[in-house]
Structure 1
């Protein structure tokens, strides 16, 4: 199954699936404590893996008690879901530079989106590998992974449909299926490079992914 956390070709706000954790704290102090636990959990998960991660190591890293941990999370599964939720926000909104629509072509927007996505994937590569592994053994995380892919797929499908309506992309493609196919291709490319360590040249990744998107969608500069 391909990784479908892949870049959007048109920037817009999107909602990510909610993680199955307790209600988030209402106070600033509570929010800081929860954030510290999530950050500490990420360190331990990336260091030890999911199966070997211990809650006592997370609380030691966060410099808090086990009781404090249980104020915000009920289990290792919940804090792992919170870590993944934070990483998904980074993947959905990776800080792509704003391009002037009047000065930038569709190809340049796609290229910038791929660059931002690959940079975000590189930052989150260890977690993406962990999610891949945990999804194979835990149905809850398998569903979370599916939902993550759906968020990205639907957002890119809207962008593809918009290009089709303006006569800038192949009108015979189903937007959602095209989005999921292209997402899977680019996401798997990122997984092999940044998680498995294929060590392909970064700019070549961006260039290849962009050309494949443009060619597959038959994107044109102006309506025919």
Structure 2
């Protein structure tokens, strides 16, 4: 896999959730441990019970602390959910296909990129399902997810365009529409395979990589 250029840096991609207005993190090691315990408890409860039916008291029971302790760190259940996403961000962040150098094996890079996404998705499948649920009831959260998806698609489109210019990919394909379509296919395959079923990651990697390569009409 090639090194990323400055244009591939992910700093411009929005976070998984808007942390504006959240309470400041604790200044002490003990406070940080308690907050981390609450975040872990919140994730357990949200993934087990769903966001809508979970209660603040369920979170405090899981964390073995009082309601007062909860409010020391979070203003609401919604803020705790934001903290859960913030904690999972690095594990779930997947920038898509990287910029490819002339010496790269394009198929191998696409396969590795798909594998990284699918492994992270399966590891966080319950949280991914939870994010779909929250997006259905929270317009701001839905907008943030749409914006993230758009930026990832634009990044992949730039790399598809580069491959077209190098004569490796069907030049008649619209790069952005192709990127959206193929990325959407992988995302849906991940949901069906890991949320609705429990398929082997490598099985899914093989299928979606074949569809990526065939969809691009990638030259051998």
Shorter-normalised TM-score: what interval?
0.7 to 0.9
Q: Which has the higher contact order (CA 8 A, sep 6+)?
A: 1
Separation in 2, partners of 1:71, 1:157: 45
Q: Aligned residue for 1:196?
A: 196
Number of aligned pairs? 209
Post-superposition shift, 1:192?
0.6
Structure 1 distance, partners of 2:3, 2:135, is 29
Structure 2 CA distance for aligned equivalents of residues 23 and 165 of structure 1: 49
Contact 2:23 2:74 in 1 (8 A): no
Which residue pairs with 1:218 in the alignment? 217
Cα gap change, 1:25 to 1:201, in 2 (>3 Å): closer
The normalised TM-score by structure 1 is: 0.77
**Distance in 2 (alpha carbons) for counterparts of 1:84 and 1:168:** 38
Q: Deviations over 1:2-34 (max 9, x none)?
A: xxxxxxx98654144242331552736354443
Whether the 8 Å CA contact 1:24–1:31 is kept in 2: the answer is no
Unaligned runs of 5+ in 1: 1-8, 95-100
- The corresponding residue for 2:10 is 14
For the Cα contact (< 8 Å) 1:158–1:175, is it kept in 2? Answer: yes
Q: TM-score, normalised by structure 2?
A: 0.79
SS of the residue aligned with 1:20?
A: coil
Would the aligned equivalents of 1:20 and 1:78 in 2 still touch at CA under 8 Å?
Answer: no
Contact (CA 8 Å) 2:154, 2:176: kept in 1 or not?
yes
Q: Is the 8 A contact 2:23 2:75 kept in 1?
A: no
How far apart, in 2, do the equivalents of 1:175 and 1:28 lie?
49
Moved more, 59-68 or 124-133: 59-68
Structure 1 residues 67-112: Cα deviation after superposition (integer angstroms, max 9, x where no partner): 3433432221222123234434322249xxxxxx797511011111
- Counterpart for residue 97 of structure 1: none
How far apart are residue 188 of structure 1 and its match?
A: 0.3
Verify: 1:168 aligned to 2:168, yes or no: yes
Alignment-derived partner of residue 83 in structure 1: 84
Three-state SS of the structure 2 residue aligned to 1:172 is coil
- 1:41 match: 42
1:33–1:92 CA distance, 2 compared to 1 (3 A): same
RMSD after superposition: 3.1
Q: Supply the distance in 2 between the matched residues of 1:165 and 1:214 (Cα, whole angstroms).
A: 17
- CA–CA separation in structure 1 for the residues paired with 2:153 and 2:14: 13
**By how many angstroms is 1:187 displaced?**
0.5
Quick one: distance in 2 between partners of 1:92 and 1:165? 28
Partner of 2:206: 207
